[in-house]
Structures are given as C-alpha cells and as structure tokens.
Structure 1
Amino acid sequence: MLNDMNFKGNWRDYQARILEEMDEHFDDGRLHVVAAPGAGKTVLGLEIVRRIGRPALVFAPTIAIREQWAHRLCPLFLDTPPIPEAISRNLANFRELTLATYQALDNLRRGEELDALIEKLNYRGPLTLVLDEAHHLRREWWKCLNEMANRLEDVRLVALTATPPYDASFAEWSRYEELCGPIDLEIGIPELVRNGDLCPHQDHLILLQPTEDALALLDRRRAAIGSLHMALRQDDGLLDWLAEHPWLTESEAHVEEILEAPEMLSAALVLLASAGRELPRPPLKLLGVSARDVPPPSLFWLERFMDGVISQHTADFPLDPARLKTLRDRLNRHGLIEGGRVRLQHTRSVFKLMTSSLAKLDSIVDIAKAEHDALDDDLRMVVLSDHIRAGELPNRPDAEFKPAKLGVVPIFEKLRRSGIADEYLGVLTGSLVILPKRALSMLPHVAEELHFDPGNFRASDLPGCPDHVRIECRSGGTAEFVRLVTALFTRGEVRILVGTQSLLGEGWDAPALNSLVLASNTASFMLSNQMRGRAIRIDPARPSKVANIWHLATVDPEDRESWDAVVSTFNWGCLNDGGAPGLSDIEVIARRFKAFEGISNGASTLIEDGVARLGLDPSKPAAFANLKTFAAAADRPAIAERWKVSLGEGAERAQVRETAAPRYAPRALSWFDTLQALGWSAAGSGAFAAANELRGLASYEGIGVIAMGLAGVATLASLPRLAKAGRLVWRNGSLEGSLESVTRVVLRSLVDADLISGRELDTAQVEIRTSLDGRKDIVLTGVSRAAERQVMQAIAEILGPVQNPRYLLVRNSWLGLKKRVDYHAVPAALGARKENAERLAELWRSGVGSSKLVFTRTADGRRTLLRARASSFAAGYQRIVDRRSVWL
C-alpha cells in the first residue's frame, strides 16, 4: 500500500518546507513537528510515513482521531479504498499501517503483553512509530510508550501535535521531550492565516464586576487579614520568641537549615521590622543586607510566615501549643487555610468564586446581542462552559430564574429568556441535547443525509421551555448526536449553541462557527489553543469569514485581594503589594493569552502573545474598556485588514519564535565597570592638571614635577581599565546591549560545551525588540527550534531569581561608598561540568562584565548561595524572565 500512495493535492508552503527538511532532523531518530489546528497534520503525517517507506504504527488519543488517518487515505493518497489487509486497528494484527489508541497500548501494559508486542515488532524489522497529538500523553501512557521507543531496535519516531505542553512543569516537559525529542519544526497560527488556511480573527476580553456576595466575602477576607497582621505586630510574646530564635541569634550555626527555607528567615525579619523591633545583626550579616534593605510587609511575606509556623516549618519554628491553636482557629474561621496550607492571597475558593461569577451571564447576553446585531442570520455562535448543571432547567414556564452556579443550562436559560435568537438556540453536551422546536422539521432530512436512521432520534417536551425540546438517541451514540447537531448548526437551524469544552473543545469540526465565547475556567495552553481552534477554521461557504473569540474575566475594581487594599483599611502607611500574584480570574486570562499569538488592537503591527496586544487601559473603568471592545469586535473588516497589514510586516518565511522577556538585566555590571574606570581616569587627569599648575609656581616647582609624575602614573594605570570600560559601554551601553551580550555569551557557552552545534553560531542573529507592554524581548533567529529553546532556558536561569545552582557568577562593585553585589545562576546545562561553568565565566567577564565563579556546594559557597537567594530581598520577586512567543 505504501508504494501505491501518492498525494493528489498540492502541498502548502509550510508542509513542503517540513517535507524538504525532514531528513536532516532525523539525526536523533526523531522528528517532532508542532502545527496549529487546521495545518493538515494527518495528511502531512501520512506523507512522512510514505517517504520513510517502513510499516507504520500510529497512536492517537481517541478513536475519532485514529479514524482520521484511515479516512484521509482515499481519495487524498489512493484512487480506491485500501484493501482491508493493508490497514489494521488491532495491535495484535500488525499491518503496513496499524492504527491504535494510546489507551489500547496501555491495556497491553496492564495485561503484561507489552513485552510480547515489542519482541514481535523487532522481529518484523524497521518501523515508523507515529505519535499523534502527543500532548495527550498521561503518565501511564508515557511510561509504556517511552519503554517501547527505547526498546525498538530500528525505529523512526514522528511526533505530531497542535499544542505541546509548554506550560507543564519542568519534569513533565522533560518527559515529553525525552520521548518526542526537541521540537524540530513549528507552524504557527499567523503562518496559517497568511496562507489562507485559517481565517482572520481577534480575541476580545470583557471585564465584569463580582456579585455583591462575592464582594462581601472579599471585604471580610481583607478585614480578617488586616486584623491578623495587626495582632501579630502587637503580640510582644510572639515577637520576643521570634527575636530569640536560634536562626536569628546564631545564624551562622544554622546555615544548612536556613538554606532549606530562606524565605522563612526573611519573613521573620519582615514581621519584626514592621513591628518596629530592632533587627538582630547575625541574620543581616549572613544575608549580606542591612536593616534598611528589609522590605515592608506584604501579603507574600505574611503568608510565608504564617504558613511556616502553622504548617511547613513547625519543626524549626515550634510555637507553643496554645498560641498555635489560637492562630489556626482564627485562620480557619476566616477561610484562610486551604488544603492544610495558609492562603492569604488568591485562594482556590476565591478563584472559583470569581471565575464562576453569575455576573458572566449578563456579559454573555451582551455578547450575543452584539454579535446578532452585527451578523444577523449569518451568526454561528458557540458558548463553552465547564459544567452542565442540568438541575437548573426550569420545571414550568413561569418559574423564577435563580441559578446557583455558572454552567451550560444557566447560560442557555439566560439566553432563552433574553429573547436573542431564542428560536435558534440549542444545547449540545454528552448527556443533554436541546433543540428549538422549529428545527424538528429539518431533523429527519439532515439525519438521512448523514445516513442515520431518523427514527433513532426521539424528542420530548421541556415543561419549562415550551419552544424547545430535548433530543435523545435510542442507540445512545454521542458521535451521532454531535454530527447531527453540527449539521443543523451549519445550516443555520441552530445559530447559538451552548456546550461543554470537554465535548466541543477538541476535534469538533464546524467551519461555520464565527463567534466563540469561552465561559470556561481553563488556563492550560493545550485546552485554550484547542478551543480557539474550533472558531478560526476557514469556512468554504463564507470565504470572507472573520471570527471573534470572547474571553470573560471577573475583576474587583478595588482589588480587595491586594496588600494595598488591606493596609488602606487600617491606614498603616505602608502600601507595598510585594510577592507574586495569586490565581485570580484575570490571572487565568493572562495565562490563557500566553498560549497563542494574535494581532494588536492598536496601531502596532506586532503579532505576539499576551493580553497587552488588546490595548486595554487598566486605569479606565471596566465599562469603558468593554465599550471599546464591542466596537472593535463589530468591525470585522478592520480585523481582517489588521491581519493583512501585520502579516505583510513578516518575512517570507516568518514563524513563531520563542523569546525571553527579562525584567532584570546585568546593566549595572558594565556601568559600574565604566564608572570606576572613568573615575580613575578623571582623578588622574585632574591631578595631572593641578600638578601642572603647581609647577608654574617657582616655590612649588619640585613638588609639581613629582605630582605630575604620580598623576601621570595614575592616568596610565587607568588606561587599560578605561579601554575595557569603553568597550563594555560600546557593547552594553543600553539595556538592549546588555541583553544582547548576555544572549551571545550564553549561545557561545552552549556551543563550546557541545550542547549546541557550532553551525548555529555562524547563522545566529540576536535582536532585542520592544513588546506591546513595553518590555524587552530577546529574539534569537537563524538557529534551530531546539537551540532556540535551550538558549532561552539558559537566559531564564541566568537573569531570573536564583534557585539552587551548582555555580554562581558573583560581581562586587562600588557606587560611591555603597557596595553592590549581583548574583547570576550558571544554567543547569552548563553547571553540570566544571569546565563548562568556567568557560561561561570567562566569556561573561570578556563580554558582559567582571565576575567571580563560585561553587555553591562548599561551606563558603552555601553562604554565598544564601545571600544570592536573598539578593532580591528588597525587590520581592521582580527578577522574573517571561517566556513569550512572537511572529517574525
């Protein structure tokens, strides 16, 4: 069958590029391709299998996706359907093309049949192993697949996915990359839009206020946290006990324990300082800070202290039982303990309260009205939610509508009662299907077109919704339901469809969809990208389709969860919201927007990820922002034009690149070198001029000659340092220069360590771009995707907060009488071997600024590491490096 296959169509530009470059990426036996939904991964995968020319074993996450491989063969590759003997769906019956699910393989593992399968495959000879949508791999599936891939003697592995788990933990990503290999080629959404394979689209964010109940809860939490902190500051017994703690009185003797929880020592100092207590010298000396460096109190530090004494560090900080019980009871009473941990910032319960706010129902109605006004009969809207809430269906027409929680049925009922396209409103979930009565006349006709038995579907009245009916399928097949309702939706018999993201979020194909409302709480890269992928497919029936994707966020206008709100209640005069933000509704949206790239709402032609591209002004009321959003969404031709202009700015083969956006750069290194060298030079020049004047006075002639000699020596001595300083200023004279220098040092270090091919160094280009939110993006082009990712990871470690590296780069400098110390972690990839760390330090000194390499696994090194981890003491967690993506 493989010999008979021949693609009947024309390859898209990016598909042709992948096929052209595929052989060079098989050096490690793996080809890892990331392609956005709609890129034609299945067709591409079949062609790769054909070109490799080996029998292929294809794994897919679901039966539906598995069957796509069989359906694409004819007529795209074969004139007639393949003979049954050529394709198998049974792992026990291996053929030229064997299609299976990950679950089927896991069943073999559970039945202890995996060894037999691997032996059988090795006996048959060379094999192609295809992993489709590999982001679905559960831990158990990953284990057996990884075992299979490692034990197969002659295998080429092809991994195809739309949404790699970029937001996974380091351990999860490492497992994923270990199996699939580094990403070799990536096809982003902008490239697909430019090629006409996805439609122009824009994301829109609607802001809404919490309900009164939610605001009241946030007010109570704010007051509880404020009174808790005041009580701690006034508890002399607690403060005396804390001041006499061994970590604070004998810090040097407890370095190892402190290194296990350095934030606990910092939190204790913050509390003592906020109470006006004199801070003990030993911990300040150990941390290398002064009392004025101790930051003011914040939710972050208060939470760290309370969680330490209540839960995490009770062995090192043992409160007396009575005080411990009193504090725990107080925290529990106000809901400030969750899962056994103290949570003063955004808790899971507050998160659910905000994300599930019933105020979103009104926003969904507003969106539906705006889209109906703009599109009328052409409207094809889908609203996705997390839960069905079938119990919320009314039992009579005049029943009062008082939903308890957000969900499919409450959204349906709110839309139905609003009267917006209510005759075209339906519900599609795995267990509940509702259609308007007017669509019943078309149901038999559509069922016959799909080769379904019309008698298999039964309609029953809904007492509380007289114009709608519930549809049930006698065969109980969800797949039939989905195809039937999708056909009705495409025809316009249903124009607003409410469903669950679990059913319609992935694999559902309805090109007519032109307005998507994400009333879901998911923030994961994978699910967000899959849900959006439903809306941005091209519609052959409407070539000018432009899609709107709507996101909803509940925001507290007074931010009652912030430290500012807490302290303003008690007028403490310390307004610092230190620490990392918690998981709020807007935080979910921000995480979601990092999963995809899009156009700006303003004049910028950048295509990048992040909420900043929407151009929202946080200083303006939510109502003002929403009016601008609705106006932008209504002008679909303008959205299409912005895509056209922005895409025109990209190169012919522009692609999505991973970037690093540091909030910190070692600008001070070159600057302090410069100041010091220029200072020596200025002093020498000044002394030389003064001595020359003295020489003109007869009585001071001898002294003047000596002074000129000394000044000349000083000036000459400063020249090498001045030359170095001038070179560093020339290279690092701006923030952009510093970031570029760091990037080139990292790239060279990785090449010298044989972690990246030397060819990458010859073609690499570094660019520092200003993003829409004003931050600087480090963009590395001319290198492979794997090299790009490795460089960005190393930069994130060097410029981010110090964790627990084997080596540190330490820089001591002076500005006037003030000594400054900067710390940078040597990336794990380079710190694993001493010679690689030393090479990085050598390149750093010549390219960025003078630094000392410190090994942190000695006694002195551990103390240095502790100071490094405390170096962001006053700044909280401001040293953050965001990993972003841009199209260029």
Structure 2
Amino acid sequence: MQFKGTWRDYQARVLAEMDGYLSDARLHIVAAPGSGKTILGLELMRRIGRPALILAPSLTIRNQWRERLFPLFLDDPQGWDADISTDIETPATMTVTTYQALHAVHASGAERFDALVTALERMGPITLIVDEAHHLRREWWSALFALRERLQDTLLVALTATPPYDAPFAEWSRYEALCGPIDSEISVPELVRNGDLCPHQDHIHLSRPHHDEWTLLLSRREAIERLTEALTTDAALIDCLVAHPWLADPQAHEEELLDRPEYLTALMIVIHAAGRAIPPAATDLLGIADAALPPLTSDWLERLLQGLLDEPRSKTVLGDERWRKLRHELDDLGLIENKRVTLHESKAIFTAVAGSVAKMDSIVEIARAEADTLGAGLRMVILSDRVRANELPKQDDLPFSPTKLGVVPIFEVLRRANVIPDALAVLTGTLVILPIGVLPAFDVEATAMRIDPARVNRRVLPGCPDHVGLEAKGGIGHVLITVVTRLFQRGAIRVLVGTQALLGEGWDAPAINSLILASNAGSYMLSNQMRGRAIRIDPGAPGKVAAIWHLATVFPGSSADPTAREGDIALLARRFDAFEGITNGPSQTVENGIERLALDLAVSTDSENSRTLTEARDRQGVAAKWRTSLGGATERSHVRRVAEANYAPRALAWRDTLRALTFSGISGGALSATGVVRQFIGSGNLVTLLLIFLGATFVFSLPKLSRAMMLWRRNGSLERSLSQVCEALVATLHHAGALSRDGSGYEILIRPNLKGRYEVIMDRATRAEERIFLDALAEVLGPVQNPRYLLVRESHLWGSRRTDYHAVPALIGARKEIAEHFHRQWRQSIGSSELVYTRTGDGRRTLLRARVDSFAAGMGRVFQRRSVWM
C-alpha cells in the first residue's frame, strides 16, 4: 500500500501526531464528515503494519473501505482475494465486516467465538479498527469487549464523526473505556477553510403556539402558582418542615445530608420563604444565615417535593394522611411523571410544543423566502421524524387541518400554499410522491440505471391531483431512492420532504443548499448527521453556501435568555452545543453554542424572524464572514475546548499580602521617619516637623507600598486570579505525571468575552492534556461535589468575612502527597488556605458546609466549556 494522493493539512497533522497517542494502545480520532476518515484509517493501518480487523455499522460503510483502497492505495483490485476478506470467520490480512456479524458469532456460543479468536490469534498481534463506534448498540458492546479482552497486544483505532458527547454518563463511560479519550479531532472549520465543506450558517425561525398548546401551558403555570402559595401559607406544613430531624439535629444525620445537600437547602429555602426562622442547630452547623439563602423558585420547590416523596421518614414528619394528600394533589395536577416531581414543562407539553403545527407556518415562510433568494438553484430538504401517511387528504377540495408535524402534513401544507408545487416531492422508506410533470424525467433516469419503469407502480392520489405515489416492485426500493435523489440533484425536484431516519445519515446529495430540521432530535449524533447532509461541497456549484434552519415554538412570557433552556429552546441549545459555526454580529469567532446567533426572544417573533430571513438571504455575506473568521488562524489552527468562568478566588490578596505589606510599609516608614525628625527637633515648629514626618514616612514606605499596589493590580482582576489558579494546577498536574510538561511548556491564555466572563485556553497541549486540565479546573472553580480534599479559605474585605470552598480535583486528591503539593502551589500563587481531608468526622462537616454553600448560592459560579476555533 502507498497513498497516491496528497494529504490535506489536517490529515497530515493527525498522522504526524499518531505515535504520541499510542502509549495506551488506543488511538481515538474524531473526524467531521468530509474529512476523509476512511482514507485516514487505511493509512493508519498501513503505518502500524499489522493485520487489521475493521468493524463498521453497515454494509454500505463496510464496502467503502475496499472502495477507497483501490485505487487510492493499490492500483489493481484483481488478485487480492486471499488478502482481503469480508467474512469475519475467515480473516485475512485486511478483514472488513460489521458489528452485527461479530455479535452473531459471539451470540451463537462459546465454540464458534473461540474459533474466531483462534483464527485471529494465528495471524499475530492485530490492529482492531472500529468505525463509527457511536453506533454500537448495547448488545454489540459485550461482543466487542469480549473480543478485545481475548486478543493479546491489540492496537485499537477508533474513528467517528459523531462521538456521543451528550450520552448518559454510563454510556459515555462505556464508549470511552473501549475507545479511550479523544486524541485528535478534525473539525468542521478546518474543512471549510480547506474548501472541503461549504460555508454555511444556522438560523432559528420562531413561531407562537396555537391556542390549545398555549392553554395547556397556562393552566399548568397557574396550578403551580396556586400550589406554591398554598404550601408556603400552610402553617401546619411549615411546622413539620421546621421540625424535620435534619434541621433539628443535623449532626446526627451528617451522612444523609452529604448525599442530598440540595434537599436540605430546599427545606431551608421554603421555610425562609414562609417567613419562619431556620432552627439554630442547622444554621450553626452549616454556617448559612437566612439572608444568604436564595429566593424560592420552582426549581427549589421541585427539589423539596421530590425529597418529601422519596425520603422514607417524610411520612413520619408529615404524617401518613398529609403525605398521601400531598402525593394525590401532585398527581391530580399532573406534576408527577415517571415517579419524578416535574414543575417545569411536562412530557405532554413538550410533545405538544415539539410537534406544534405552528411550525408549519415557519416552514412555509422559510420555503418561500429561500425560493425567492435562490430561484431555480434552490435545493431544499425538509426532515421530520414521522411520515404520517394516513393524513394524506382523500379529496382536494376539502379543508386540510394538520394535527401533528410530519412528512405528509408538511408536504400538503406546502402544496396548498403553492410553494413550488411542480418541483415538490416526498421521499421516505415507505412513501414516495412525485409531481406528475416529473414522471418523464423519472423514466429517463430509471432506464439509464437499467431499471424498467414498469417495475414502479404509479398510484393516483385523489387528494393531490398534481402528484402521484410510487411503489417499487421486486425489491428495488433502494433504486427508487437513487432515482429520486438524481432528480433532486438535477433540479427536477427542488423541495424534498423526508424522514431523518432515511435522509439523516448516509444519504448523499451534495446539491442541498437549504435544510429545514422539522425534527425533535436534540442529540449531538443525530443533529450532526442531519447538518452534515447540507454542508458538503457541490462540484456542480462551486459557490455553494448552505442554510440550516431550526424551528422553535416559544410561549409568551418565556425567558428572553436563550440559555434559560425552556421548551424548544432547550432542545436547540443541546443541538448547538454540538457544532461550531460563525456568529451573527460583530464577533469574528467560530464557536459552538446557541448564543452565537444572538437570538433575541425579548422582541416579537415577527421582528426576530424578519431579521433572520434577511441574514439568510445574504449568502455571500455568510461566505465572507467565514473567510474573515477563519482568516486570522494559522495553518495549524483547530477547534480547542475553552473554559468560560465568571469566578476566581480574588479576595485573598488583601488578607494575605496587601494588608501585611501596607502595614509593614507604613510602620517601617514611620520608624525611619522618626529618626529623620530627630535631626530637625529644635529647628522648626510643630507643623513643619509633622510635614517632615509624613514626607519621610511616605518615602521610606514607598518600596513596600509599590509592591502592595503591584500585587493589588496583579490580584485584583479576574484575569490574574484565573491565571494564578491555572499556574498552580499545571504545576501540580505535571508533578502528578498527568501532564508531560511543566508550566513553561504550555501557554495559558486568559481573555474576556462579550458576556463579561473570561475564557481559559490551554495552548501547545494535546487534546488529552487539554481535557485533563479543563476537567481539573472545572472541579476547582465549580460547585463542590464529593472530593477527598477541600481547600478552605477565609477572606476579609471591607469589614466582611467570607468563607470559600474549592474542591481539590479528583486526579490530584487521589494521593495525599499530590494534594499537599497542590496546597503549597495554591498558597504560593494565590494565598493562604487550609487543606481539609473530608473523610474524617470534622472533614465531613466541612464538606457538608461546602456543598450546602454551593447550593445556597444558587450555583452562581458559572463554569462552562465551549469549542472555539483558533
């Protein structure tokens, strides 16, 4: 094998770094669609130089490996049958198969699986390549883990475009246990810069709910308001809460309190909101005064109610009758779902909003605007979750009132709105609809593929007289999809409505330049797959700029902050956390997050939609913004993970350093000045002597006062404080062997952003080192969880006393010697503090105070991680 092309710069970067990542016998690469992931995998196989077993999630992807091998690495596909196998039970030098095939062998019994292991072992140490491992279903994991455990000295290469970043913790842990931490990543911005993906922008189109949906939410909000008022004015209930054993005798329940500090905090907040005093035993132990508690919100009330229902002793605290009455009341109000108290959006409301037919109006408005902008060049795909074929109208002259979002309702609403009806089609796995005028072109394409058009049934649609339904006979359904795709590429079809299941992954139509996601998918994997359809370059349209449209139904009175994550905005926020793009407005960064679109929910939906549609029309402006945003980056630029913080330990400067320096400076200066004044006694009046004394004091104090001012300037800003925390972390992580270099080997960049927070970037680090550092920083600056060690610091500023708690990161706190090293670095860089081991009686009480403090502060410390191109 020998690669016959030229490596793109991002491919060359990954290949140059590969040896440094194989120390744990695993290489984990995330590569965006269009980056040449399969070609990279073949080159990695060649360089490692071992027989390889390649596992893929589908036959299509399996076949791509052999297709890329010839002619990119080998000239003639003939004569290699003995060396390339697609049968897992007869492995060869290169064996390409599917996860399903491996699972079938493993599930069939020990004898067959043992034979496979023996056949692979006979070949010597192998390279195991797992392609798109995020597809692994639960039953497939056991087979893969069993194989890897049995094979000795295996090197594993994991390749994926969409790792399950937002999967549940257990699923992500299983994924990372197999693939290892992400070693290298090829991002979308790199591909756009190199011209391997097209410029694009995401847009959000807003709609208001219809009457039924709005009534549903309004009645729920009113019920929660009544419930809150009833609970806080129920004197007997508050008496029960005040008498709760956790508050009356907290020391006897320390272990329970440590496990559920949020419930303890909710108890205190509700009591305080009812105008009652919290028992002194609790405030003394926890160091939390009534005034320090945040106001009662639905979040805190939800925590309280859930705690009362879950905690066995609650029946004793409230009494059986009151407890049952509370549970029945919550049930009657629909506030319990899957045994969880839910005071926010219920499943019924989420389903109603996510599938709101109000989004139909958005789809029509977008389609019209895009048709006006792109004309005959429009290639729009609209993806939905359900087909809803039974909603096809039976008669054309009857009113059409869709009840739910779906492929057929979207198609029919667009058809009746007269949005390009002669080029509007449906493509799903079970339903295909074409305009009658496109049928001659369909027959030509089918004939060119050597398919007799007669093998495709034409079905009359009485309710859609200008369209016809198609049904393939004789197992040629895949050919039908191919023919419709070609018609779309040519422009005979310009608006195609389909399901994300069929068109969301694997379907390839580079001509797409407008994509509407009328889907409820919020996961990283599905969202990235769907967007990936639209941002591919189109050889037939070199200037292609794509628009990706997201739909959101928002209620009146919703938070104006898109990060509040309510309803559809919450779903979109999850999507936007998954990919990077250009911003709207003056910022030139390329980053992830919904905030980059500068969505304004405070204005009317019509005003916001008008602004969005205007921005979408300016395709050349989008392309220019990409060029500008990418232009300042170096050739080695790539997407970095960035920490965003609004907090760092700043107040220590006065107590630890400034006060001592100021007092010692002034007192030292005064002593020196006294000696000067003695020389002038008898030669001047009292005022002159006083001026001489003060002047001499200032002169002799100046060095230490200057030092104090310098330290104030150094410590008085959030930027400097973050820098000091980072210095202490890097030094300790290097000492612990988690980072390969000390502080001089990395550059820690601290810079402000438009939200009033500071971004922390670790430069010159590998992806793994970046992750280790940012994880540790998150533990130090974020809410306290359950660390083995705590740093406790007391600060005095302007007459007030404050106690702050910082978790010692788990990687550092695993060993006492490393934790003590971090403590020394902290004192040297930041200031005095006490290192507390939390697994003793006193330590547990300190940890309890720290955890309650975190919750009582409303988790006001913001620590977020974003992806930024630089």
Whichever residue aligns with residue 23 of structure 1, its letter is D
The Cα offsets for residues 304-333 of structure 1, whole Å up to 9 and x where unpaired, read as: 111111235655864322222222222222
1:570 counterpart residue number: none
Secondary structure at the counterpart of residue 590 of structure 2:
coil
Is it true that 1:467 corresponds to 2:463 in the alignment? no
Structure-2 residue corresponding to 1:256: 255
Pick one of 832, 856, 865 that aligns with 1:883: 865
Mapped partners of 1:317, 1:490: distance in 2: 69
Check if 1:520 corresponds to 2:519.
yes
Instruction: Write the deviation string for residues 3-52 of structure 1: whole angstroms up to 9, x where unpaired.
Output: xx333322212112222332332222222211111101111211222232
Q: Which amino acid aligns with 1:843?
A: Q
Q: Displacement of 1:819 after TM fit?
A: 1.6
SS at match of 2:854: coil
C-alpha contact 1:294 1:873 (8 A) present in aligned 2:
no
User: In structure 1, which of residues 670, 683, 686 is the aligned counterpart of residue 653 of structure 2?
Assistant: 670
Aligned residue number for residue 446 of structure 1: 445
Hey, what does 1:756 align to over in structure 2? 739
In the superposition, the TM-score normalised over structure 2's length comes to 0.93
Alpha-carbon separation, structure 2, partners of 1:257 and 1:22: 48
Q: CA deviation at 1:693?
A: 12
Aligned to 1:35: 31
In the alignment, structure 1 residue 109 sits paired with structure 2 residue 92 = no
Q: Which residue of 2 aligns with 1:152?
A: 151
Contact 1:662 1:796 in 2 (8 A): no
| Counterpart position of 1:820 | 802
Tell me, in whole angstroms, the C-alpha distance in 2 between the residues paired with 1:157 and 1:85.
Answer: 24
| In 1, Cα distance between equivalents of 2:290 and 2:433 | 66
- Give ranges in structure 2 of 5+ residues lacking alignment: none
2:582 is paired with a residue of what secondary structure?
coil
1:653 and 2:652 correspond: no
Look up the match of 1:604. Answer: 587
CA 1:318 to 1:455, structure 2 compared with 1: closer, same or farther past 3 Å?
A: farther
State the one-letter code of the partner of 1:653: R
Farther-moved stretch of structure 1 (323-332 vs 630-639): 323-332
Residue 568 of structure 1 aligns with which residue? none
Shift of 1:509: 1.0
Helix, strand or coil: the match of 1:497? strand
Does the 8 A contact of 1:56 with 1:98 survive in 2?
Answer: yes
In 2: Cα distance, 1:851 partner to 1:794 partner? 18
What letter is aligned with 2:22?
F
Matched, 1:56 2:52: yes
How far, CA to CA, are the matches of 1:466 and 1:689 in structure 2? 103
Q: Which residue of 1 aligns with 2:720?
A: 737
Letter of the 1:68 partner, please give it. Q
Q: Identify which range, 99-108 or 33-42, moves more after superposition.
A: 99-108
Alignment of 1:171-210 (within 5 A): 171-210=170-209
Alpha-carbon separation, structure 1, partners of 2:784 and 2:114: 44
Aligned to 2:218: 219
- Supply the RMSD in Å over aligned alpha carbons: 2.9
**What is the DSSP-based 3-state SS (H/G/I as helix, E as strand, rest coil) of the residue aligned with 2:206?**
strand
Structure 2: how far apart are the matches of 1:864 and 1:95?
Answer: 61
Gap change, CA 1:249 and 1:431, over 3 Å in 2: same
Structure 1 residue matching 2:621: 3-state secondary structure: helix
Residue in structure 1 matched with residue 489 of structure 2 by the alignment: 490
Change (3 A) 1:750 1:77: same
Structure 2 counterpart of 1:595: 578
Aligned match of 1:776: 758
When structure 1 is superposed on structure 2, of 83-92 and 647-656 the one drifting more is: 83-92
Equivalent positions of 1:268-417 (< 5 A) are: 268-311=267-310, 318-417=317-416
The amino acid across from 2:71 in the alignment is: P
**Residue equivalent to 2:607:** 624
Q: Are the aligned partners of 2:32 and 2:186 in contact in 1 as well (CA < 8 Å)? A: yes
TM-aligned CA deviation for residue 546 of structure 1: 0.4
Matched position secondary structure for 1:820: strand
| Aligned partner letter, 1:40 | G
> Within 2, Cα distance between the matches of 1:716 and 1:226?
66
- Hey, what does 2:509 align to over in structure 1? 510
Change in 2 beyond 3 A, CA 1:755/1:717? farther
Shift of 1:729: 3.8
Alpha-carbon distance, 1:603 to partner: 2.1
CA gap 1:461/1:674 in 2 versus in 1, 3 angstroms = farther
Whether the aligned pair in 2 keeps the contact of 1:427 and 1:433 (CA below 8 Å) is yes
1:869 aligns with 851
Q: Are the aligned partners of 1:309 and 1:318 in contact in 2 as well (CA < 8 Å)? A: no
Q: Distance in 2 between matches of 1:850 and 1:806?
A: 19
Question: Aligned partner of 1:284: which letter?
Answer: T
Residues 79-124 of structure 1 show CA distances to partners (whole Å, capped at 9, x for unaligned) of: 3324433322211111222111112212222122333322321122
CA–CA separation in structure 1 for the residues paired with 2:476 and 2:774: 47
Q: Match of 1:128? A: 127
Q: Deviations over 1:639-663 (max 9, x none)?
A: 1111111111111211000111123
The structural deviation recorded for 1:164 is: 1.6
Query: Following the alignment from structure 2 to structure 1, what is the Cα–Cα distance between the partners of residues 515 and 854?
Result: 42
Alignment coverage as a number of residue pairs: 856
Equivalent residue number for residue 834 of structure 2: 852
Worse-matched range after superposition: 423-432 or 856-865:
423-432
Q: Secondary structure at the match of 2:185?
A: strand
Aligned partner of 1:236 in structure 2 is 235
Q: Which amino acid aligns with 1:425?
A: L
- Residue identity over aligned pairs, in percent, reads 52
- TM-aligned CA distance change 1:250 to 1:9, over 3 Å: same
1:805 aligns with 2:802: no
Secondary structure of 2:853's match?
A: coil
Q: Indicate conservation of the 8 Å contact 2:750/2:759, yes or no.
A: yes
CA distance in 1 between partners of 2:216 and 2:326 (Å): 20
Question: Residue 71 and residue 378 in structure 1: after superposition, are their counterparts in 2 closer, same or farther (change >3 A)?
Answer: same
Whether the aligned pair in 2 keeps the contact of 1:728 and 1:849 (CA below 8 Å) is: no
2:82 counterpart residue number: 85
Does the aligned pair in 2 maintain the 1:613–1:772 contact within 8 Å? Answer: no
In structure 1, distance between residues paired with 2:211 and 2:832: 57
1:643 maps to 626
Q: Would the aligned equivalents of 1:807 and 1:853 in 2 still touch at CA under 8 Å? A: yes
Matched, 1:8 2:4: yes
Q: 1:78 to 1:616 in 2, by over 3 A?
A: same
353 and 675 in structure 1: CA distance in 2 versus 1, 3 angstrom threshold = farther
- Report the residue type matching 1:594 in the other structure: D
Say if 1:605 and 1:649, in contact at 8 Å, map to a contact too.
no
C-alpha distance in 1 between matches for 2:641 and 2:666: 46
Q: Distance in 2 between matches of 1:786 and 1:369?
A: 47
Distance 1:849 1:448 in 2: 79
Superposition deviation, residue 592 in structure 1:
0.9
The answer on whether the counterparts of 2:509 and 2:533 sit within 8 Å (CA) in structure 1 is: yes
Q: Is the 8 A contact 2:565 2:571 kept in 1?
A: no
- Structure 1 residues 215, 488: CA separation in 2 closer, same or farther (over 3 Å shift)? same
Structure 1 CA distance for aligned equivalents of residues 725 and 113 of structure 2: 48
1:624–1:196 distance in 2 versus 1, CA, 3 Å: same
- Give the letter aligned to residue 593 of structure 2: G
Q: Structure 2: how far apart are the matches of 1:533 and 1:305? A: 43
- Equivalent position amino acid for 1:750 in 2: L
Secondary structure in structure 2 of the residue aligned to 1:613: helix
Residue by residue, what CA displacement relative to the aligned partner does 1:645-688 show, whole Å, maximum 9, x if unpaired? 11111112110001111232222333553554366357747976
1:96 lines up with 2:93 in the alignment: yes
The change in CA–CA distance for 1:106 and 1:771 in structure 2 (over 3 A counts) is farther
The TM-score normalised by the length of structure 1 is 0.91
